[in-house]
Structures are given as structure tokens and as C-alpha cells.
Amino acid sequence: MRALFRVIGAFVLLAAACSAFGQSTMTIDIDGQPMLRKPVKSMLEMRYQNMMRQQLDFSCGAAAVGTLLRYGYGYDLAEPRIVEDMLRISDADTVVKNGFSMLDMRNYVETLGLRGRGFRVDYSALRQLKIPVITLLDVNGYLHFVVVRKAIDGRVFVADPALGNRIIKEEDFAANWNGLVFAIVGRPFDPNSPLLDFAAPALTTSDMDTALRLLCLSYSAGMALATQRLRWHPPWPTMPAT
């Protein structure tokens, strides 16, 4: 429980700090007179458009779940609430050290009346996805949950809780992916979800290493899916054909 209270306290500080990154306003002057005030989004805001950004080094799993819940299923939940609720049904000390697991995700979405399903698939199955799913990537040695929105034309469109919307080359994604996907089901996915719109600004693969250095992510090496926690549903089922 001490870990849980530390996390909640950290979110109070983060909420105050993040307020400095809100939307700014541009004033257009005509002949010296302010005539128009228009909200302006920064490139950073656009990068994280229509997805949930993680606020803690171990919360990529919570933010990935939050992205699907908010933009696919209509649950207007903030990341602090999701983290707090997931910690209450997980081992908080283990989560702070290693991150949330897919089992934690499944247990959490079931408290909302939804179902979580894990599958082992090959890359070709990603091209057939009808809804976005959560996957685990090895990002420069760190295990990291992301949302796969679509795989098409040799590219994978990803909502990354740490780096924002980005596009990964098919071969790079396949080389760093363990073949597991986590889907949230139990009610229809919103067909008008912005997660199905690929117009948002996105990092390309060539941008990724630079962005990682700038972000200075401080994940522990075993983050998000410790090997001993892969005992859920052994062996992993294959995804049914669509």
C-alpha cells in the first residue's frame, strides 16, 4: 500500500506540472487591434492527439488500456484513475518495479464489464485487425506496451504512450515484437474512433532513436511484462480468423 500512496502523491505533483503544457492561444491583430483569438495546438499536443500519454515510467500499460477505453469504448477515464484502480487489484510493489502485465489489464477491464483476451499471432494477422490492440515491444532493451492501430502497406501505425503517434516499418516492428496481442472486447468498438484515423502527426522509425534520447525514459529493464507473469493462459491461444 505504501507504493500505492506514493503513486497517488506523484500524480498530484504531475497534474500541476503538466498544466504548463496546455493549449495556447494566438491573437491575430489587424491595424493594431486584436480581432481574432484562436486556440493553437503545439506539435507536442498534436503528437499525442487522440491517445493517452503515460505520466509515470511504469504506466505504459495503464495508458495503453486508457487509450482504448477512452477512444474506442467511450470510457472517459484519466490515467491517474486507471493507475490507482489497477494498483488496487495488483501487487503495487511489483508493478512499481516491473510495470503492469497483460493479466493486470485483463483483471482491470473485467471490473468495467468488459473482457480482455490475449492471443499469440504472426505478423500477417496484424494486417487483418478490425480493432486496435495492445502489444509489447522491446524498445532499445526496454519492454514497452503500445497500441497497434493498423498494419498496412509495410507500416505499423502505433499509439505509443511515451512517444506519441508514430509509424514503424514492418520489419522493425516484427524484429522487436514478441507475437502477443491483447484485445478488449465485450461491446462494439466505436467505428468512428479517431484511432482508426491515421491523419495525426506521427514519428517515423528514423525519428525514434532521437526521441528516445530526448525523453530520457527511466524504465526498469523488466518493465511491463516480467517473465514469471507470463503464466496467464499457457499456451497462448491463436487469434481466430476474421
pLDDT at 197: 86
Indicate whether 171 pLDDT > 80: yes
C-beta of residue 145 within 8 angstroms of C-beta of residue 60: yes
Is residue 131, in this structure, part of any structural domain at all? yes
Is residue 15, in this structure, part of any structural domain at all? no
pLDDT at 215: 45
CATH assignment at residue 220: 3.90.70.10
Is residue 14, in this structure, part of any structural domain at all? no
Is residue 11, in this structure, part of any structural domain at all? no
Is residue 28, in this structure, part of any structural domain at all? no
Is residue 207, in this structure, part of any structural domain at all? yes
Is residue 234, in this structure, part of any structural domain at all? no
Is residue 74, in this structure, part of any structural domain at all? yes
216 among known catalytic residues? no
The two beta strands, 33-40 and 155-160, are unpaired
Of residues 185, 120, 113, 194, the one with CA closest to residue 157: 194
C-beta of residue 233 within 8 angstroms of C-beta of residue 118: yes
pTM score: 0.71
Let me know if 224 is exposed, middle or buried by CB neighbors in 10 A (0-12, 13-18, 19+). Answer: buried
Domain enclosing residue 189, as ranges:
39-228
Q: In total, how many domains does the chain have?
A: 1
Return the C-alpha torsion angle 219, 220, 224, 230, nearest 10: 160
pLDDT at 98: 84
Catalytic residue among 51, 60, 136, 239: 60
